[in-house]
Amino acid sequence: MPKVYFTEDNMCTTKKLEVKKIFDYFIANGWDKTSQMECADIVICPTCVGWKVKEEKSLERLLEANKSGKKVVCFGCLNNLNPASVAKVHKGICVPSQELTKIASLIENPKVALCDIAEPSTFKSREDYRLYDLTKRYVNIVDGCSFTCVYCPHRVGLGRIKSRSRKGIISQIKNLVKDGVKIIVLTGMETALYGMDIGDSYPGLLLEVFEAGPGFEVHVAQFNPLGIVRYNKELSPLFSNSRVTDIQIPVQTSSERILKLMRRPSGVKEVGNFMKSVRDNNKTAVFRTDLIVGFPTETEEELRESLRFAVSIFDEIAVYGIEIRSGLPIEKFIKDAYPPEEINRRIDFAVKYIEDNGRMAHKGQQGESLSLIEVENRKEALRRLKREAANRR
């Protein structure tokens, strides 16, 4: 029986689900998973470029895999963002993130086609989770990204938005409901503009998600603020529904000047008013956001205003320092870039400010002092406290 080996990975949720689909494809066609690279016929090396540290670790794993002398497949966004670095350490097959169908050619005469593999809602192994809980499942609703933010590698790595059909999503959720799943996470690299490429919309999808069955909570993940501006009236009663218990809105900054430089949509004021209105009706939901600090020319007051805005609305705030990445439009700001020590000072200042104001802060996946497992534990504890407080009213 042929064997496949998967290296460790530090991919986003969306891509972890795709890795699980690759895994399922091999297993469905009679392959066996091995935990020893030297025993494998094929080595799959998933890669990520979300932050520099992720890119560096992906290259390290790819180099190590190629030293094995095995047939190695480099999968993921590294192929798009930094093909030159890939070529230095890898002479084998490359499968970019948006070209998953290339995986099909790895198996000769497959009995089960890749397109017939069900969309996963779990990851390939227990180790891929921050907190292992199969009552919580992930449903990928859209791939790619609708935006071209100057600092972000996601559009380069993932390509343009590609929405799944609502029918397929709802069918998957109904099957999960039958299995007794308690939490459905609607995920994607950017979910707010779901459906714009197929004549659908996020509010329409979410309404049908509620109708897919009772008894499960919904988590809204990676929802760009533009979705709130675009769908304000439609979203308000949906996000106010007590079944929505987690809402992630990455605002990045409250400065309209910086947003323009970032090439991100404006609308922070609308987001603030909307979320405060939702809070009046939904007491149990955890509100989460991301902030990017130290963007070139960001003033101290702009940083402080972003922090004031964030702590006035959100329960959990992930703080990231801007990175000047080669091959991305942000390179043009290099002359105004702050030195690393200043970026780190701003990160530390932001984390302390957030915590001093009674909110939960962490440094995400860029340079974490608080483990992501602990982040999840604290988030679950916060959710329990909100639920208990709501029940006492």
Spans of all domains in the chain: 3-116, 129-392
pLDDT at 385: 75
Flag whether pLDDT at 130 surpasses 90.
Answer: no
pLDDT at 19: 96
Q: pTM for the whole thing?
A: 0.92
Pairing of strands 162-163, 136-143: antiparallel
The pLDDT tens digits of the residues spanning 229-254 come to: 999 999 999 999 999 999 999 999 99
Q: What average pLDDT does the segment 202-209 reach? A: 98
pLDDT at 363: 86
Residue position matching structure tokens 């529904």: 241
Tell me the C-alpha to C-alpha distance, in Å, between residue 286 and each of 136, 216, 247, 315: 16, 16, 6, 6
Pairing of strands 93-95, 136-143: unpaired
pLDDT band for position 379 (50/70/90)?
Answer: confident
Q: What average pLDDT does the segment 109-130 reach? A: 94
Q: What average pLDDT does the segment 95-119 reach? A: 94
Q: What average pLDDT does the segment 141-151 reach? A: 94
Which of 35-49, 284-298, 376-390 comes out lowest in average pLDDT?
Answer: 376-390
Using DSSP, how many helices (H) and how many strands (E) does the chain show? 13, 13
pLDDT band for position 132 (50/70/90)?
Answer: confident
CATH number belonging to the domain at 129-392, selected among 3.40.50.410, 3.80.30.20, 3.90.950.10, 3.40.50.1820: 3.80.30.20
Q: What average pLDDT does the segment 10-25 reach? A: 94
C-alpha closest to that of 379 among 248, 239, 268: 248
Q: Which two tokens stand for residue 161?
A: 């938005």
pLDDT at 369: 47
Which residues, listed in sequence order, are joined to residue 238 by a DSSP beta bridge? Answer: none
Which residues, listed in sequence order, are joined to residue 94 by a DSSP beta bridge? Answer: 74
- What's the CA gap between 385 and 387, in Å, rounded? 5
pLDDT at 366: 60
Flag whether pLDDT at 392 surpasses 70.
Answer: no
State the average pLDDT for the chain: 93
- What's the CA gap between 292 and 287, in Å, rounded? 17
pLDDT at 371: 63
The pLDDT tens digits of the residues spanning 313-355 come to: 999 999 999 999 988 999 999 999 999 999 999 999 999 999 9
Flag whether pLDDT at 391 surpasses 80.
Answer: no
Q: Is the dihedral of CA 304, 306, 308, 314 positive or negative?
A: negative
Q: What average pLDDT does the segment 122-138 reach? A: 91
- What's the CA gap between 107 and 178, in Å, rounded? 33
Overall CATH class of domain 3-116 = alpha beta
Q: Are 81 and 156 in contact (CB under 8 A)?
A: yes
Rounded to 5 degrees, φ, ψ at 106 are -75, -20
Flag whether pLDDT at 388 surpasses 80.
Answer: no
Q: What average pLDDT does the segment 58-74 reach? A: 96
Q: Tell me if residue 33 falls in helix, strand or coil.
A: strand
